Amino acid sequence: MLVCCGEALVDFVGVGAGAERLYRPIPGGAPFNSAIGAARLGIKTAFFGALGADWLGDMVRARLHESAVRMDLLQSRALATPIALVHESGEGAQYVFHGVGPQTPIIDPDRFPERLPDETDALLIGGLATIVDPPAAAIEALADRHARDVIVYFDPNVRPAMVSDRPAFMARMERLCALSAIVKISADDAKWCYPDLTDEAAAEHLASLGGSVVLLTRGGDDARALGPWGWARVRPPQVVVGDTVGAGDTFNAGFITALMRAGVNEARALRRLGVAEVSGMLDFACAAAALCCTRHGAQAPYLDELERFMGRHAAPPKSPVFRTPPP
């Protein structure tokens, strides 16, 4: 089972232009989006986060239910459900957050379980919940407790406007990278975190911290995976973009799904993968993200939608693990 830990909120995504532009509410939050994406691709998934007792929280809860995401780790939040105003520009999606901060914790750190459920194979962390304390410190401690037992997957998903102390953020980010078996970083995040390095050099630095795999996404350009095999590179399907909201989160869901369908459920198994297997996993993840980009807001595809899309847009899978759903 995959556990996705972090924020759930509601994105208000701009649709249209000028005076006719409207903002449509769509459930979101980086780990939440990944939980939805993995569950829709057929992976047993639980979301570990918190929801407010308001109509926005009801909307998020309904999305979890309809996507068959387990909610037994879900916390109730006395505060209002956080929101993000999303503006898509030529530089990608830009966000303004409300209801997220030290006084409005995304998750209550005093209610964290000591251990995750026994059936947990992977823990996905990242996003606002690993930027803003107090939950950031609690999530770091959770990852530390489980780093030897499960595959920890970390996507910093940097939101610069929410980083109040850059040195402290960078120190924690690198500690989390060292705890994680898989680190995913976008080219934009690599540039912000390591402005003096190329994106590949930044990925190589993160790999030196101890993780088995570093994934590097570059928008519509090739996605890359660095591991014992060296570099694997694939080019994502080229699509007409509705917006990019949730694309990286859906990539994460796709890559973890590919791992689990290949029977990789422990960190040491990552080091036994070959470049062909990893390239197939990248293809699957890139296709999921590309299909998400054809829609407005974080709207992860279901498995049957993705398989049809890959049949039209992508080369045949490099690994037979993608040809049929898991039992």
How many Å apart are CA 16 and CA 14, to the nearest integer? Answer: 7
Report the pLDDT value the prediction gives residue 152, as an integer from 0 to 100.
Answer: 98
Q: What's the rounded mean pLDDT across residues 300-320? A: 77
| 258 and 288 Cβ atoms separated by less than 8 Å | no
Q: Does residue 34 lie within any of the structural domains?
A: yes
Q: Highest mean pLDDT: which of 88-92, 135-139, 323-327? A: 135-139
| 123 and 133 Cβ atoms separated by less than 8 Å | no
The pTM is what? Answer: 0.92
Q: Does residue 115 lie within any of the structural domains?
A: yes
Categorize the per-residue pLDDT at 281 as very low, low, confident or very high, splitting at 50, 70 and 90: very high
Residue 71 sits in a domain of what CATH number?
A: 3.40.1190.20
pLDDT digits (tens, 9 = 90+) for 22-72: 888 999 999 999 999 999 999 999 999 999 889 999 999 999 999 999 999
Residue 129 amino acid letter = A
Report the pLDDT value the prediction gives residue 315, as an integer from 0 to 100.
Answer: 56
Report the pLDDT value the prediction gives residue 325, as an integer from 0 to 100.
Answer: 38
Categorize the per-residue pLDDT at 114 as very low, low, confident or very high, splitting at 50, 70 and 90: confident
Instruction: Find the domain containing 290 and state its range.
Output: 2-322
Q: Does residue 327 lie within any of the structural domains?
A: no
Q: Does residue 192 lie within any of the structural domains?
A: yes
Report the pLDDT value the prediction gives residue 78, as an integer from 0 to 100.
Answer: 83
Integer angstrom CA distances of residue 128 from 9, 162, 201: 11, 8, 25
Residues facing residue 24 across a β-bridge = 13
Q: Does residue 148 lie within any of the structural domains?
A: yes
How many Å apart are CA 63 and CA 25, to the nearest integer? Answer: 12
Domain count for the chain:
1
The β-bridge relationship of strands 122-126 and 2-5 is: parallel
